[in-house]
């Protein structure tokens, strides 16, 4: 085992995570702008059923990408606030457990704030 090479690989990965974390707010802003563009287009234009379908399909993709970015950001916040746990072998499992717990919470089904499921189903009838 080449110790120096192993440590270099770890450092490269940590640096990649740091850069990715720093870039996430900009990526989130791009997705927010895309979402607003679609919503303003819907607001300002008369659209057919087919066009509405295509716009909703695109909006769903934007929302999915946005959710992925937000989830990654939250996971990386947990990682960044617990980086010191990487140093001690005994603490690494605690870091992983914190990440697993956050990931499980992030994968939970969204709970509506204003509309009930029944109201939304009535809207799309």
Q: Which residue has the tokens 């509309």?
A: 115
Tell which residue, 42, 40, 38, 44, has the closest CA to residue 60.
Answer: 38
Query: For 2-33, how does the pLDDT look when each residue is reduced to its tens digit (9 = 90+)?
Result: 888 998 999 999 999 999 999 999 999 999 99
Angstrom distance (rounded) from CA 76 to CA 17? 8
Query: Residue 31, Cβ neighbours under 10 Å: how many?
Result: 19
Asked if residue 108 lies in contact with residue 56, where contact means CB atoms within 8 angstroms, the answer is: no
pLDDT of residue 84 exceeding 90:
no
Mean pLDDT (the chain, rounded): 92
Whether this model's pTM surpasses 0.85: no
**Would you list the domain boundaries of the chain?**
3-123
Tell which residue, 81, 64, 62, 61, has the closest CA to residue 21.
Answer: 81
Q: How many CA atoms lie within 13 A of 122 on its CB side?
A: 5
Query: Residue 35, Cβ neighbours under 10 Å: how many?
Result: 16
Angstrom distance (rounded) from CA 100 to CA 120? 32
For 107, the token pair is 């994968």
């Amino acid at each position: 085992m080449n110790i120096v090479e192993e440590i270099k690989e770890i450092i490269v990965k940590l640096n990649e995570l740091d850069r990715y974390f720093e870039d996430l707010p900009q990526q989130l802003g791009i997705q927010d702008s895309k979402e607003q563009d679609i919503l303003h287009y819907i607001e300002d234009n008369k659209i057919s059923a087919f066009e509405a379908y295509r716009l909703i399909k695109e909006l769903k993709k934007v929302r999915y990408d946005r959710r992925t970015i937000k989830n990654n950001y939250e996971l990386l916040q947990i990682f960044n606030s617990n980086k010191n746990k990487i140093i001690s072998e005994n603490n690494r499992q605690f870091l992983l457990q914190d990440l697993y717990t956050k990931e499980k919470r992030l994968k939970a089904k969204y709970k509506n704030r204003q509309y009930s499921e029944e109201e939304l189903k009535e809207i799309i009838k």
